[in-house]
Structure 1
Amino acid sequence: MNIVQEESLRDQKKSRRRTLMLDTARRIIASKGLISLKVRDVAEAAECSIGSVYNEFGDFDGLILTVNRETVQLLTSKLRMVPSEDPRAQLHGLATGYLEFAVEHTNLLRSLFEHRMEKNRPFPKDILDMVMEAFALMYSPLSRLLSKRDPDELLLIARTMFSATHGIISLGLEDRMVAVPSPNLRQQLAQFVDAQLKGLSAHA
């Protein structure tokens, strides 16, 4: 075996190990929540040292953030599939799509919003931008329904509507005292979107 072949095998082994680390972290977060994720469990699953996990992702935050990036990418991809022919129907579809994603990936979505960086380090801008990109998907249908509104104002409205949608869903799925019961979430989201559009149209 020559040097090139050896390097190729090492790269393949490293790639498989990284994939296994991510798959393990994702599985633990999805099934048990972010609080249950431990570096040693990831290292054991990948049959490597804890130091190898840190070397691959920089630190524990780096591992979590990589999983969170995948989560927001998956969410955005799902929301981009919502039909856009009818702007009102698109807004309802975005809210429903978010609910469906939250039900299917509850703990992964919580990890995206609940993770706090160690040592009070700032949250990576790229993930914040990705989340804002997902929330801004309501901008296009709103701009068609409220064509006279200022673009900056519309962007703020879009993010506010999605933030409210996220709050309704998050509370509902956690079954908190003030939450909307889970079976009624879809109906309540539809009523929320309609009420928002009615109010916004009245002040267009």
Structure 2
Amino acid sequence: MGRRSDHSRSELEALIVTEGRRQLAEVGLARFSARDVAKRIGYSIGTLYNVFGSYDGLMLAINARTLTLWAAHLRERLAASGEDRIATLVRGYFEFATDNPKAWIAIYEHHLADGGAAPDWYQAIAADLMGVVVGEIAAVLPEAEPDALLALARSLVATVHGHCVFTLYMTFSMLGETAPVDAALTRVREAIAAARG
């Protein structure tokens, strides 16, 4: 039986997202169950859907929390960085992905049931993460136009992301790549040098 009055709505949201993210990190998106989340926290599945509206709403909230933690991780790493902030950024990207593999990949595996775009609030959280990258690229390319910086940042994220995915799925091991972080950093440095030229 559900504990319908034990928590305020904001407390309930936090409780659900915390347990949902814990479960997602443990079992991955393919085996993730909103019903199991509800059971673990002592509420009905109906309560989860009352709070988040749908399975998609729940997943967006969980993935938003992962994005927020990821941005915080990068900012913390950069705050303690030496002069080579680009290397810190690339390594921080890999660290978060390898420390949170199932929750990290769920950001990219989950698609809205209607095939539409994520809501504005979610896109703002994703944009905040991208803003960390854009800020570091802008620091090394101060003359670049804002649109060009954003386009380059997106491409660099895609490059590092691909290296992360190949690492997590052990594709690089099969291909003989023994230093994927260094390989990703080399590609990033090459792209920045080309943009300077």
TM-score, scaled to structure 1: 0.81
Give 1:1-204 correspondences, 5 Å limit. 10=5, 12=7, 17-81=12-76, 82-83=78-79, 86=83, 89-176=84-171, 183-201=178-196, 203=197
Shift of 1:115: 0.8
Q: Deviations over 1:22-49 (max 9, x none)?
A: 2331122101111111122122112222
- Structure number, greater radius of gyration: 1
Is the CA contact 1:135–1:163 (under 8 Å) kept in the aligned structure 2? Answer: no
8 Å CA contact retained: 1:137, 1:158: no
Tell me how far 1:187 sits from its aligned partner. Answer: 1.8
- Are the counterparts in 1 of residues 172 and 178 from structure 2 also a CA contact under 8 Å? no
Q: CA deviation at 1:172?
A: 1.9
**Per-residue deviation, 1:178:** 9.1
The structure-2 alpha-carbon separation of the partners of 1:15 and 1:37, relative to structure 1 and needing over 3 Å to count, comes to: same
Q: Deviations over 1:99-139 (max 9, x none)?
A: 00000011111111111112334322222232233123232
The number of residue pairs the alignment matches comes to: 192
- The AA in structure 1 aligned to 2:50 is N
Structure 1: 5+ residue stretches without partners? 1-8
Q: Is the 8 A contact 1:69 1:127 kept in 2?
A: yes
Quote the offset at 1:180 in angstroms.
6.5
Segment of structure 1 superposing worse, 110-119 or 20-29: 20-29
In the aligned structure 2, how far is the partner of 1:112 from the partner of 1:157?
A: 21
Letter in 2 for 1:157: L
Q: What is the RMSD of the two structures over their aligned residues, measured on CA atoms?
A: 2.6
1:145 & 1:45 partners in 2: Cα distance? Answer: 47
Structure 2 residue ranges without an equivalent (≥5): none
Closer, same or farther: CA 164–136 of 1 in aligned 2, 3 Å: farther
Distance in 1 (alpha carbons) for counterparts of 2:136 and 2:9 = 44
The share of aligned pairs that are identical, in percent, is 26
Other structure's SS at 1:28 match: helix
